[in-house]
Structure 1
Amino acid sequence: MEVFLALADELHFGRTAERLRLSQAAVSQTLRKLERRIGAPLFERTSRRVVPTPVGKQLHDDLAPAWAAVGRAEADAVAYARGVAGTLTIGFLGASQGELTPRVIAAFRSGHPGTEVRMREVHLGDPFGALRDGTVDLLLTRLPVAEPDLTVGPVVLSEPRMLAVASDHPFARRDSVRMDDLARDVSFSARGPAPSYWWDAQIPPVTPSGLAVRRERPAETLQEMMTLVASGEGIAPVPRSVCCAYAYEAVAYVPIEDAPPSDVALVWRTAAETARIRAFLDATLETLRTTTPAH
């Protein structure tokens, strides 16, 4: 089965043999044995190409998920035999860790004392980069996330949005603002490879009534953006938790009446899911079940 699936991926006997560290003869012999068991050819083979037959394609579609499940089950058995021991690095974006995360980490550590949990901040300009390069195993990030290689888990925080302005800005004297007010001053753009849809959800390019938002100040980190706000170089819609994490005397936070809430979820690389990640998700779900999330 492993030889068949590898050949279906590679479509080349030589590459399949190299990948599995077998001889080409062993790959051919194994495939012939499987075809005799099935009772039909699984690949059309010529001197120029190798392509699955209809039977081979059907077998691949049915077998690949089951084989992946076998691999995960084996990895789980090894990990749990070791008490899910190791290191779990959790990335977070700005103030996205929220009040629930320390409770989740405490619950996880209680059940898995052999696992070390580390926290690492990621940047506004590249919210998914640390996840993809393996710097972090899990990511607490603002939604939306619509990446084909990433899995979005439970929402751990949902909170209203505020408008961050310099303390001497005219908006600072108001009880609230509306999304259309974003068009009345300069805002920020991402410096880095952040997906456009993700950045548009944090700081929209247009207001609900269609007014253009001037996103003219680039910012790579939340710290950088808040420093620019404090110096009067722009305004920025931010989640309410930023008010506590960045309580600058030079910055005022004004509620935005008509802004949608900002949700934070756990995200991980689908192909890199491990027993440690699943154990942390279990701890998160249990904590969510017994705790009322902050809103």
Structure 2
Amino acid sequence: MERHEIEIFLTLAEELHFGRTAERAGVSQSRVSQTIAKLERRIGAKLFERNSRRVALTAIGRQLRDGIEPAHRRIQEEIARATAAGRGVTGLLRVGFSGAFTSHLILRATDVFSVRNPGIELRIQQVPMSDPYGSLRAGDVDLQATELPIDEPDLTVGPILISQPRALLLPAGHSFARHASIGLEDLAEMTLLTVGGTVPDHWREHHFPRQTPTGRPIPQGQAIIHWEDVLSLVLAGKGVSPVSVAGARYYMQPGLAFVPFRDAPPIEYALVWPSARETAKVRAFAQSAHEFTRSLGGPARVIDAL
């Protein structure tokens, strides 16, 4: 059997539909029919039972599929592995994330990446929000998904993976918890948790501002080190914290409320890596994650599609 015959046969055995097989194989439907008819003449037996309503494998068709599919899959894997090696896409790749929904996206994206690049060993790990770039600079991760804005001359910012409206996480008993939305000026009437550690000032001011747009001071609460601290402190009534609207899906529990902002910029996450350690496998992962995000509808819709 020639390669195109094997691929058309196996695709039809999976789809059991001539039109979808033709679309996947990039050929006409008549070409699919001709290829299968040619195989059946060569083998001397029907491989598919077909009528106007259904297509099904015959017993001999199932035997042929079961015999050649594992070998074909192994050949494809070896071709992909050799191609990846030729492009330098091999070895260990360590990918960081900073929150629950970014980890969900990264795990899905790594599944897609692994199929395309079987020679890569992937390691996924969380990075602390109090030291967002420390793991990158120390070489503990090769790239990571992290919150914008990023203004670091030694780091390269890749594609935006997530863009979500901003909300405020606050105790369910708080007076603002009953509002349909809130404004940035309302923060002057609350205690805003902040972030400790080595977070850049421009990043802290973007997410945990010290004053409202009109200059009113925002009371500052406890500095947090780990995201998990936010939930317990808000539940205890020690302050409020900005989050993405998607956070309600991952963190909602009794005693908490999520109220959307009506005038705040979205929270965006992008891939970032050290410019001096950019490699073929880093670029390949960034491209694969970008394509995966686009396949789910883009950064604004990716969380809903996961």
* TM-score normalised by length of structure 1: 0.69
Shift of 1:129: 0.7
Match of 2:148 in 1: 143
Shift of 1:190: 1.6
Match of 1:243 in 2: 248
Aligned residue type for 2:244: P
User: 1-side partners of 2:207 and 2:184: how far apart?
Assistant: 12
Match of 1:264 in 2: 269
User: Per the alignment, do residues 213 and 92 of structure 1 end up closer, same or farther by CA in structure 2, a change over 3 Å counting?
Assistant: same
Match of 1:291 in 2: 296
- Gap regions ≥5 residues in structure 1: 1-76
Alignment of 1:112-261 (within 5 A): 112-261=117-266
Do the aligned residues in 1 keep the contact of 2:85 with 2:119 (CA within 8 Å)?
no
Shift of 1:172: 1.3
Shift of 1:80: 2.5
Alignment of 1:38-49 (within 5 A): none
Shift of 1:96: 5.3
User: 1-side partners of 2:85 and 2:124: how far apart?
Assistant: 23
Do the aligned residues in 1 keep the contact of 2:135 with 2:141 (CA within 8 Å)?
yes
**SS of match in other structure, 2:232:** helix
Do the aligned residues in 2 keep the contact of 1:230 with 1:250 (CA within 8 Å)?
yes
User: 2-side partners of 1:285 and 1:158: how far apart?
Assistant: 13
User: 1-side partners of 2:155 and 2:243: how far apart?
Assistant: 24
Do the aligned residues in 2 keep the contact of 1:83 with 1:114 (CA within 8 Å)?
no
Shift of 1:245: 2.0
Do the aligned residues in 2 keep the contact of 1:230 with 1:248 (CA within 8 Å)?
no
**SS of match in other structure, 1:177:** coil
Shift of 1:218: 0.8
Do the aligned residues in 2 keep the contact of 1:98 with 1:157 (CA within 8 Å)?
no
User: 1-side partners of 2:283 and 2:298: how far apart?
Assistant: 20
Do the aligned residues in 1 keep the contact of 2:157 with 2:272 (CA within 8 Å)?
yes
**SS of match in other structure, 1:280:** helix
- Gap regions ≥5 residues in structure 2: 1-81, 301-306
User: 2-side partners of 1:214 and 1:131: how far apart?
Assistant: 32
Match of 2:49 in 1: none
Do the aligned residues in 2 keep the contact of 1:96 with 1:142 (CA within 8 Å)?
no
Aligned residue type for 1:211: R
Aligned residue-pair number: 219
**SS of match in other structure, 1:216:** strand
Aligned residue type for 1:205: R
User: 2-side partners of 1:249 and 1:233: how far apart?
Assistant: 16
**SS of match in other structure, 2:169:** strand
User: 2-side partners of 1:200 and 1:88: how far apart?
Assistant: 32
Shift of 1:228: 0.4
User: 1-side partners of 2:185 and 2:114: how far apart?
Assistant: 45
User: 2-side partners of 1:90 and 1:285: how far apart?
Assistant: 15
Aligned-residue RMSD, C-alpha: 2.1
* TM-score normalised by length of structure 2: 0.67
User: Per the alignment, do residues 98 and 293 of structure 1 end up closer, same or farther by CA in structure 2, a change over 3 Å counting?
Assistant: farther
User: 1-side partners of 2:295 and 2:172: how far apart?
Assistant: 39
User: 1-side partners of 2:118 and 2:149: how far apart?
Assistant: 33
Shift of 1:87: 1.9
**SS of match in other structure, 1:225:** helix
User: 1-side partners of 2:125 and 2:107: how far apart?
Assistant: 14
Do the aligned residues in 2 keep the contact of 1:83 with 1:112 (CA within 8 Å)?
no
Do the aligned residues in 2 keep the contact of 1:157 with 1:265 (CA within 8 Å)?
yes
User: 2-side partners of 1:123 and 1:100: how far apart?
Assistant: 18
Shift of 1:244: 1.9
User: 2-side partners of 1:251 and 1:137: how far apart?
Assistant: 35
Share of identical aligned residues, percent?
39
User: 2-side partners of 1:120 and 1:103: how far apart?
Assistant: 14
User: 2-side partners of 1:100 and 1:92: how far apart?
Assistant: 9
User: Is 1:87 matched up with 2:92?
Assistant: yes
**SS of match in other structure, 2:233:** helix
Do the aligned residues in 1 keep the contact of 2:159 with 2:290 (CA within 8 Å)?
yes
User: 1-side partners of 2:276 and 2:83: how far apart?
Assistant: 18
Aligned residue type for 1:134: G
